Structure 1
Amino acid sequence: MPWELRDGEPVIDPALVRALLSEQHPELAPLPLAEPVRGWDNTMVRLGERLALRLPRHAQAETLLDREVAWLPRLAAQLVARPVGTTDQADHATPALPVIPTPVRTGVPRAGYPFRWAVVPWMDGTPAVHVPLEARDAYAVQLAATLRGLHQPAPADAPASAFRGVGLAEVEDRFSRRWDAVAGELGRERREQLAEAWRRAVDAAPYAGARVWLHGDPHPNNTVLAGVGPDRLRRSPVLVDFGDLCAGDPASDLGSALLHFSPSGRDAFRIAYDAGRVPDPALWARAQGWAVHFALIFAAQSPGEALRPLGRDLLA
C-alpha cells in the first residue's frame, strides 16, 4: 500500500531532504519544508510557497520521473510554439494551453537516498478526488479544453506506453483478470452493461490518426483545482504527475477523464471535447472501454486509497 513503506524503501524525512538540498541546491536549502506526503510512486515535500520535491519511492518511479525530466520541457515548448486557444465556458471548449509542471531542478542519489529526484512547481489547490462527484461536473468543459490542448501531434520519438494510448486488445488480459475478480460483486444488470461497453470498445474501429500527446493518467487524484470553496470549480483544472506521459490514441486519456463526472457531466465533457471536430463514435466507444478498465483498477486498490471509492461507485 502506498501509505506504508515497502520493503527496502528509503525513509524520506525532512532531515534527508535538507541534506539533499544542502549538497546539490544550497540556495534552496533555507526554504521552509512541509511534512513529506507519500503517493503511490513518489513522496512529495512542499518547499517554500512555490516549489516541491518529487522523490521516487522505488526504481520504477525513478524511471517515470526521468521521463518527465526529459520530455516535459519539450512538450511545453511545443505547446507554447503552437498556441491552441482559450476556454469558452458558456457553451463549449476550444483547445486551451494546458499548464505543464516542468521540473525546475534535478538531483542525483546522495546522503543515502538511492534515486534521482526533482524540484517541481507546487500546484496549490484541492485534488479533485476530494470534491463530490456532482460538484466535479462544474469543470467538465474546462477539463475538455485542457485535454484538447494537450492532445496535439507528438514527434516521432515521443515515448510510447504498453498501458496507455494503445489498442484495447493490448490490455485485454489485464482487464480480464480484474473483471473476474470483481464481476461477482456486481448486480446482473450492471455486470451486463459494463461487459457490453467493453465489447463495444474492443470491437470499435482502431485509432488511425497521428499519435498525440497524452497525460496518461488524468484521473481525479492527478487533477488539482486551484482556489478555495466554489471558486475552485470555476477555474481550469491543472493536471499533475506526468509520469505516464506518452503518445498514442487519445481514447485512454478520455476514458480516465470520464471518471471525473456524473452522466450529465460526461455528456458536457464529450460535447465540449468534440466542439469543432468531425464526429468520431469509435473514439468514444474506445474511451468508454478505457473508463471501465480504469474503474476496475481503482476499485481493486487497497482500503484507504483515494481512488478506491470512486472506482467502486462507478462500477456499482
Structure 2
Amino acid sequence: MDISNLWDAEWEVSEELARKLISSQFPSLMSAPIKRLGYGWDNTVFLVGEDYVFRFPRRKVAIDLLRMEAKILPKLADFVTLPYSKPLFFGEGNLEYPAPFLGYPYLSGKFPIGLTDEQRQLSTSLLAQFLKRLHAFPVQIAQENGIQRDHRNLTDLTERKEKMLKFLSDLSPHLKREEHRAILDYLEQHTTDRVQQRYVFLHGDLHFKNILVNKRGEVSGIIDWGDMNLGHPACDLNVAYSFLPPHARSDFFREYGEVDEETKVLARMIAVYIPMLILMQAIDEKDNEVAVEAKAIIARALADV
C-alpha cells in the first residue's frame, strides 16, 4: 500500500528495558512480573503484576501527549462516569530511554471485537452519560493546563473527504466490490464543506481499540487519552455510528442532549474515517481480526435504521 506508516515506532521498548526503568524508579514494583500487552501508534503497553499497566512512548510526538495526560487526567475524576486510565506512577526517561512513562491501575475487560448488536445496545446509556459529563469538563481548566484546540482541523470536511478518497484508493485491493462501492457512494454524496467550530473537552480518539467491555459486552473502561483536545463534540460522538447499532442512535442522542444535524454529519464521517486508518494498519501488520472488525465498523457507520 502506497502510504507512509504513521504507526511505525521511532524506538522500541523491550520487556527488559521496561523492567529496568520501572524497578529503578518504583521499588515497590521491583518483584512484579512484567509482560508486554501490545502497542498502539504512540505507546507500548506493559502489564506489571496483576494490578497496573505502564505506557511507554514509542514516538517523539507521544512525549508531550503523555506529559499532558499526567497533568489533566487526575482532574477528570469528578466528570468521568466510566473507569478510565488515571495515572498513579510518573516515570522519567534516562540515558537508555528518552521519554517519560506512566503507570495506571489495570482496567479489566477486552476490546469490543465481534460483539452482537444486542450487546452493543447495552452500552447506549453508558456512552451517552459518559460523553455528556466529559464534554462538560470546564474548557478554561483545560486551557490553563495546555490542552490544544482542534489541532487536527476536524471541521474541514472537504480536506477530510480528500484524505478518505486517497485511503479508499490505497485500500481498494483489500475491499470487496460492494464494500468499496458503499464507501465511494457515501463520499460522493457528501456535499458539506465545513461545519461550524465548537469547543468542548474531548477524549479525542474514541474508537474500539481505546474502549474496553466486560463479559456481557457492556463498556467497562476508556483508555489511551493521549489525543485529548478542545474541539467539536462530533469527534467523540462518532461512537453513536461506529459502536452502536443504528436503531440505538436516537436513544443515545436523546440521553446525551440535543445534537444538530451538522454535528451528526461530522460524527458519521469520523466514524468512517478512523476505521479506514485502522484497517490500513491492520493490513500492513497482517492482523486479520482487527481488519475484519474495522470493515464491520465502516459498514455499521454507513448503515441507517
Q: Same fold (TM over 0.5)?
A: yes
Closer, same or farther: CA 38–111 of 1 in aligned 2, 3 Å: farther
Q: Which amino acid aligns with 1:67?
A: M
1:205-244 paired onto structure 2 within 5 Å? 206-209=195-198, 211-226=199-214, 228=215, 230=216, 233-234=217-218, 236-244=219-227
Does structure 2 retain, via aligned residues, the 8 Å contact 1:200–1:285? no
**Residue of 149, 155, 166 corresponding to 1:177:** 166
* Alignment gaps of 5+ in structure 1: 84-95
Q: TM-score normalized by structure 2?
A: 0.79
- Residues 1:314 and 1:134: Cα distance change in structure 2 (over 3 Å): same
Task: Give the conservation status (yes or no) of the 8 Å contact 1:45–1:53.
Answer: yes
1:123 partnered with 2:111: no
Distance change >3 Å, CA 130–CA 16, structure 1 → 2: farther
Does 1:253 find its partner at 2:253?
Answer: no
Matched length: 283
Equivalent position of 1:46 in the other structure = 47
SS in 1 for 2:35: coil
Give the deviation of 1:180 after TM superposition. Answer: 2.6
CA shift digits 1:67-90 (9 cap, x unpaired): 21122123x15xx1xx6xxxxxxx
Match among 10, 13, 32 for residue 12 of structure 2: 10
Q: Tell me which residue corresponds to 2:265.
A: 285
Q: 1:39 to 1:243 in 2, by over 3 A?
A: same
> Which of 247, 251, 273 is 1:271 aligned to?
251
CA contact (8 A) 1:105 1:120 kept: yes
1:237 match: secondary structure: strand
Structure 1 residues 133-212: aligned runs within 5 Å? 135-152=119-136, 154-156=138-140, 157=143, 158-163=147-152, 165-182=154-171, 185=175, 187=177, 193-195=182-184, 197-198=186-187, 203=192, 206-209=195-198, 211-212=199-200
TM-score between both structures, scaled by the size of structure 1: 0.76
Task: Report SS of the residue matched to 2:54.
Answer: strand
Corresponding letter in the other structure for 1:286: L
RMSD: 3.0
Question: Could you give the per-residue CA deviations for residues 85-104 of structure 1, whole angstroms, max 9, x where no partner exists?
Answer: xxxxxxxxxxx723342211
Q: Percentage identity across aligned positions?
A: 22
Give the whole-Å Cα distance in 2 for the aligned partners of 1:130 and 1:196.
26
Structure 2: 5+ residue runs without aligned partners? 1-6, 300-305
Aligned twin of 1:91: none
Query: Matched residues in 2 for 1:60 and 1:305: separation?
Result: 28
